[in-house]
A and B are shown apart, each in its own frame.
Chain A
Amino acid sequence: MRAILKSKATVVAAVMASTTMVAAEDVEVLHWWTSGGEAAALNVLKQDLEGQGIGWTDMPVAGGGGEQAMTVLRARVTGGNAPTAVQGLGFDILDWGNQGSLANLNDVAAKEGWDDVVPDALKAFAKVDGKWVSAPVNVHSTNWVWANKAVLDANGIAVPTTWDEFTAALDTLKSAGVTPIAHGGQAWQDATVFDAVAMSVLGPDGYKAAFIDLDEGTLGSEGMKEAFDRMAVIRANVDDNFSGRDWNLATAMVINGEAGFQMMGDWAKGEFLNADKVPGEDFLCFRFPGTAEQVTFNADQFMMFDQGGAVSAEQAALASAILSPSFQSAFNVVKGSVPARTDVSDADFDDCGKQGMKDLAAAAASGNLFGSMAHGHAAPASVKNAIYDVVTAHFNGEYDSETAVAELVDAVSIAK
């Protein structure tokens, strides 16, 4: 057992022994994109590769936003049977990169000039020790608010731009008998809201200090307490049945006009579009009040696993296909996210998509682009989940704001 991953030679030998089932020219792709739209978008990639004579062996494992796939990945790597390419998020990529399991894509990257078109904040998750190890597919931004326009109009509410305007709007909706905020009480959803709220209170510097640098002073600050107080306000404006609800059912509440707002990443847009709603006419998308300048993001990428020293021709082809502007556009139009490279034309995107691309470029240029804590792009998985524990316990009334701040400092220190 001691030899696990210590001797590269055995790992390589095992990989070679066990990939016999897959023809030499195939790529095996482990991913969790199994919903209709996502799979259709992946199919574009698949056909592109097949056009080059490279087969695609599909290995889908859905569940928990990729958690299940990451478990499977660990079993595969330990068994010496790593897939060629694996969908990955944030710190997972860095962790695998630091284990030395990923291939070096620098040649492709240099040839195609990735360094010039991918924002720095994103590069931080695609490069390990100056080496490109994965190919970014998209950028989701998570500090969006989605609103039912008809409901807002009926109650005379304009798009709120500050916390006070927002709370006023919530009060108006509440007295009109509409659920002000549609929310699903699952830890990651609570944390998604918390991300935006903390950003609005602490500002970009405070956000970075707290969730990226894990500075104890900021985590235990008065500002953090204020952020928890605001979470309590939000908690007071969700319906009684919020707990455990899937995010898409919360989105449906906004679509049906049962609720006014939902704080959710840009994937929520797909739900509106599927219900034949038009951005700007039926629904609105805007940044969480107080975070108009900032973008918190998470990005899907494909990590390339080392298949015996050098990056294989198939991996290079796959990586280059992923970063081609045509795929970036086609995929992200479907997915609701925006391209990972900033030089892609926005012609095919809808209004929310266009705004998203503009916001991303602006935030990247002004240093306001930050990884989302809730989605594993600010701190490693252990810290992320430790923060989840506190946020969700507070949101469910287990802690008051003061206790929550103390618990937050404690939980992060255990997890670090």
Chain B
Amino acid sequence: MAHTANSDFKTRLQNWIPKLVLSPSVAMMLVFVYGFILFSVYLSFTDSRLLPSYGWVGLENYSKLWRLSHWEISLKNMGIFAALYIAICTSIGLGLAIFLDQKIRGEGLLRPIYLYPMALSFIVTGTAWKWFLDPGIGLENVMHTWGWESFEFRWIKDRNFAIYTVVLAAVWQTSGFVMAMFLAGLRGIDNEILKAAQMDGASNWNLYRRIIIPQLRPAFLSAFVILSHLAIKTFDLVIALTGGGPGRATELPATFMYSYTFTRNQMGIGAASATIMLMTIAAIMIPYLYSELREKR
């Protein structure tokens, strides 16, 4: 091996450097993400309670999990929450971005106002929202003191509607960020095409529908990835805003998982719920990522 020509060695080194550079990240990812996922899946078949333990119990944790009405509630809530959250954030984000793109005066002021919620942690913002939504002290009370006696807004106290207040607060936090992504996408569109289309007499509505929005496809990808990851990880928000209540009406899989793993000392069931969550995420994300990444080749 010592006899290879110097230049040959250099080329080979050059071929290896990129992979070497990538390897620490790949190694970390394999151990800390996929290794841990495997570990967690393994735990879901064991009798782990307070700490991991390794007595094999087969599918017992899964059968217990599906007997819990609590788990069904959190799955149903996840469906409602994720669908509404992603849809509303995307539409508000896109709408605001389009509006803000119309040579608005004061854009420099409005943009940070839309963006700042992303900077706040929900540990305390949750309290502000909780007060605002509380009929006794918040919006309803203010409306009453302003003379609108019949005004009613008590979603947070109603177990059929409380999940929508979680959506509201979550939308508040991230829709501005989504706006920024779409705004960036809009600013990147070539104005020449638009001008040409305008010459042809296309209406604004058609310009957006036919030309502009289709060009925002990469922005939709980024928004979807970021929003769905935030939706799945929504945890602090629920804890601060409703504590999972009224009753258990606003539990989400993340709070379920945390509570079974850590506060209820039923790590096996917690791991089983995590496994199902991950499988669901994979079922949705893998086809999506596959189609998006493949087309770019």
| A interface residues with partner B (beta carbon < 8 Å) | 1-2, 4-5, 64, 67, 70-71, 74, 77-78, 95-96, 99, 185-187, 239-244, 380-382, 385-386, 389, 392-393, 395-398, 407, 410, 414-415
Would B157 and A240 count as touching, CB distance under 8 A?
yes
| Contact A186–B243 (Cβ < 8 Å) | yes
Q: For the complex, what is the distance from the CA of A239 to the CA of B154, rounded to whole Å?
A: 13
- A-contacting residues, B51-83, CB 8 Å: 51-52, 54, 64, 67-70
Q: Which residues of A contact B245 (CB under 8 A)?
A: 185-187, 243-244, 392, 396
On whether the beta carbons of A2 and B51 are closer than 8 Å, the reply is: no
B242 within 8 A of A: yes
Across the interface, do A74 and B50 meet the contact criterion of CB distance under 8 Å? yes
Shortest beta-carbon distance from B186 to chain A in Å: 40
9-residue interface stretch from B128-136, B169-177, B286-294: B128-136
- Given known A67-B263, A95-B265, A398-B159, contact A392–B51 (CB-CB < 8 A): no
13 pairs of residues in contact across A and B, judged by CB atoms under 8 Å: A2-B54, A95-B50, A186-B245, A187-B244, A239-B136, A381-B264, A382-B264, A385-B263, A385-B264, A396-B159, A398-B159, A398-B247, A410-B67
Q: Are A67's CB and B248's CB within 8 A?
A: no
What residues of chain B lie closer than 8 Å to A4, measured between beta carbons? 51-52
Q: Is the CB of A393 within 8 A of B262?
A: no
List chain A residues, Cβ under 8 A from B248.
187, 389, 392-393
Q: Nearest-CB distance from B40 to chain A (Å)?
A: 11
| Contact pick for A392, options B67, B157, B247, B262, CB 8 Å | B247
Q: If A380-B265, A392-B248, A393-B248 touch, does A244 touch B243 (CB 8 Å cutoff)? A: yes
Count, A-B residue pairs, CB within 8 A: 89
| Chain A positions within 8 Å of B52 at CB level | 1, 4
CB-defined contacts of A244 to chain B, threshold 8 Å: 130, 134, 156-157, 242-243, 245-246
- Distance between Cα atoms of A235 and B156 in the complex (Å): 18
User: Lowest 9 A-B CB distances belong to which pairs?
Assistant: A396-B247, A243-B246, A241-B136, A71-B262, A385-B264, A381-B265, A382-B264, A67-B263, A243-B157
- Range class of the B interface residue count: 20 to 34
With A and B bound together, what is the CA distance between A170 and B244 in angstroms?
A: 29
Kindly supply a per-residue 1/0 record for chain B positions 145-159, scoring 1 wherever the CB is within 8 Å of any chain A CB and 0 otherwise.
Answer: 000000000101101
Q: In the complex the two chains form, is B51's CB within 8 Å of A5's CB?
A: yes
B266 CB–A CB distance under 8 Å? yes
Partner pick for B135 among A241, A389, A395, CB 8 A cutoff: A241
The residues of B that contact A395 with a CB separation of less than 8 Å are: 247
Closest to A384 in B: B264
CA distance A71 to B156 in the complex (A): 28
- Alpha-carbon distance between A312 and B130 when the two chains are bound, in angstroms: 46
Given A382-B265, A414-B67; A396-B246 close (CB under 8 Å) = yes
Residues of A within 8 A of B39 (CB): 1
CA distance A415 to B264 in the complex (A): 9
Contact A70 B263 (CB under 8 A): yes
List of A residues within 8 angstroms of B242 by Cβ: 244
Complex partner residue of A99 from B50, B54, B136, B157, CB under 8 angstroms = B50
B271 at the interface (CB under 8 A from A): no
Using Cβ atoms and an 8 Å threshold, which residues of chain B touch A239?
136
| Residues in chain B near residue A397, CB distance under 8 A | 159
Residues from chain A with a CB closer than 8 A to the CB of B64 are 414
B140 to chain A minimum Cβ distance, whole angstroms, is 9
